[in-house]
């Protein structure tokens, strides 16, 4: 089929039926319409994803864009997380990818969105980087540790407890720690409930941290059991509380028979986690930026972006 018979455009209502069909063809897993709606319309009235369509075969390529409220240098902004990028094998020789990937940034900057980013593996990064559509910002690190019982004063001073997603202390915690984050997704009650409580198939545990004699929330963690390990999917606390929070997670894991902990983290926390006894490796994933001139530059992002496993759409 010639390129002239293709239409490249922003998502239109009804495209989701073709998108989920293509997803199953490409990835071999069914994406339900519930999952698509949760991911792409759960937080935004406008869908910024781009598609390539034909009259005969419908959606043959898709470049997914998930809108997030973010914080940048103390101000609330908007960014797009890129995912579910796919082109049907019959159309991979027609440079469709370049067209759908280039269209999304044009649309987002019109609406004042200042950042497009993602978490591709090394292989998925090759083509967009070669085409000049992505610029690598930094590697994503992963940390692992054996779950163990830490018996120190913090064990008795602080309480680690199941937390409700509608607990108003979550917003107070976010307000208290957001000044330490120069760039990142807003992690308030609305975000946590959407991302974790409302997830269509993964089950997460939300835990809080506070002093035993007080009520103020001093940290939280989102955990997911994965076989014989616990994934620390997300966490919110000040830097000086990170050690206590992770010790509590380790104690909880140890008490439930879980052997290991694993998390993703930005490079600027590498020394902090190393001093806490975590072994550090590259995750095989990086974080790039889309290269539109009206979005944040590499120098504005490098070493600034706070992200966790929860910032991906596949964990």
Could you tell me if residue 154 is inside a domain? Answer: yes
**Residues 275 and 213 placed together within one structural domain of the fold:** yes
What is residue 314's predicted lDDT score, i.e. its pLDDT? Answer: 85
**Residues 155 and 274 placed together within one structural domain of the fold:** yes
What is residue 43's predicted lDDT score, i.e. its pLDDT? Answer: 87
What is residue 142's predicted lDDT score, i.e. its pLDDT? Answer: 97
Query: Which domain range does residue 204 map to?
Result: 142-283
Could you tell me if residue 122 is inside a domain? Answer: no
Could you tell me if residue 58 is inside a domain? Answer: yes
Write the burial class of residue 66 (CB in 10 Å: 0-12 exposed, 13-18 middle, 19+ buried): buried
The answer for 13, left when phi > 0, alpha when psi is -120 to 50, beta otherwise, is beta
Could you tell me if residue 237 is inside a domain? Answer: yes
**Residues 168 and 85 placed together within one structural domain of the fold:** no
**Residues 102 and 149 placed together within one structural domain of the fold:** no
pLDDT digits (tens, 9 = 90+) for 100-128: 999 999 999 999 999 999 999 999 999 99
Q: What CATH number is given to the structural domain containing 38?
A: 3.40.630.30
- Say how far residue 167 (Cα) sits from the centre of its chain: 22
Could you tell me if residue 134 is inside a domain? Answer: no
**Residues 156 and 270 placed together within one structural domain of the fold:** yes
Percent of the chain with pLDDT over 70: 98
**Residues 87 and 10 placed together within one structural domain of the fold:** yes
Residue appearing with tokens 């163990």: 148
**Residues 61 and 191 placed together within one structural domain of the fold:** no
- Selection from 281, 213, 276, 225 nearest residue 248 by Cα: 276
Q: Number of structural domains, the chain? A: 2
CB neighbour burial string for 33-43, b if at least 16 within 10 angstroms, e if fewer = eebbebbbeee
Q: What is the pTM of this model?
A: 0.94
List the alpha helices (DSSP H) in the chain: 15-27, 33-41, 96-110, 122-130, 153-157, 169-177, 189-192, 242-255, 270-275, 298-301
Question: What three-state secondary structure class fits 182?
Answer: coil
Give the pLDDT of the chain (315 residues) as one tens digit per residue: 455 588 999 999 999 999 999 999 999 999 999 999 999 998 888 999 999 999 889 999 999 999 999 999 999 999 999 999 999 999 886 689 999 999 999 999 999 999 999 999 999 999 999 999 999 999 999 999 998 888 787 778 999 999 999 999 999 999 999 999 999 999 999 999 999 999 999 999 999 999 999 999 999 999 999 999 999 999 999 999 999 999 999 999 999 999 899 999 999 999 999 999 999 999 999 999 999 999 999 999 999 999 999 999 888
Distance (Å, rounded) from C-alpha 223 to C-alpha 185?
A: 18
**Phi, psi for residue 31 in degrees, rounded to 5:** -95, 115
HEC assignment per residue over 94-148: CCHHHHHHHHHHHHHHHCCCCEEECCCEHHHHHHHHHCCCEEEEEEEEEEEEECC
What is residue 59's predicted lDDT score, i.e. its pLDDT? Answer: 97
**Residues 279 and 146 placed together within one structural domain of the fold:** yes
For the chain, the first-to-last Cα distance in angstroms comes to: 36
- Selection from 91, 85, 41 nearest residue 66 by Cα: 41
Could you tell me if residue 55 is inside a domain? Answer: yes
What is residue 4's predicted lDDT score, i.e. its pLDDT? Answer: 53
Last residue of a domain, one of 116, 150, 184: 116
- Reading the block at residue 9, the tokens are 């455009």
């Amino acid at each position: 089929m010639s390129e002239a018979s293709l239409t490249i455009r922003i998502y239109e209502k009804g495209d989701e039926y073709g998108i989920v069909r293509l997803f199953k063809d490409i990835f071999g897993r069914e994406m339900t319409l519930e999952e698509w709606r949760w991911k792409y319309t759960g937080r935004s009235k406008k869908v910024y994803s781009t598609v390539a369509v034909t009259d005969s075969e419908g959606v043959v390529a898709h470049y997914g864009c998930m809108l997030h409220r973010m914080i940048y240098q103390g101000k609330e902004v908007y960014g797009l997380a890129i995912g579910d990028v796919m082109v049907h094998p019959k159309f991979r020789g027609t440079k469709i990818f370049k067209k759908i990937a280039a269209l999304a940034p044009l649309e987002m900057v019109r609406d004042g969105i200042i950042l497009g980013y993602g978490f591709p593996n090394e292989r998925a990064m090759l083509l967009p980087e070669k085409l000049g559509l992505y610029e690598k910002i930094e590697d994503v690190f992963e940390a692992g540790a054996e779950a163990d019982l830490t018996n120190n004063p913090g064990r008795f001073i602080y309480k680690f407890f199941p937390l409700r997603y509608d607990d108003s202390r979550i917003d107070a915690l976010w307000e208290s720690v957001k000044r330490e984050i120069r760039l990142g997704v807003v992690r308030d009650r609305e975000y946590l409930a959407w991302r974790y409580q409302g997830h269509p198939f993964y089950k997460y545990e939300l835990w809080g941290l506070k002093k035993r004699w007080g009520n103020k929330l001093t940290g939280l963690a989102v955990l997911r059991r994965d076989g014989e390990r616990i994934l620390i999917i997300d966490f919110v606390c000040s830097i000086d509380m990170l050690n206590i929070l992770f010790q509590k997670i380790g104690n909880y894991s140890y008490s439930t028979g879980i052997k290991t902990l694993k998390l993703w983290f930005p490079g600027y926390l590498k020394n902090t986690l190393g001093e806490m006894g975590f072994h550090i490796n590259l995750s095989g994933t990086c974080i790039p930026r889309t290269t539109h001139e009206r979005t944040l530059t590499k120098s504005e992002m490098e070493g600034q972006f706070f992200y966790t496993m929860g910032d991906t759409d596949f964990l």
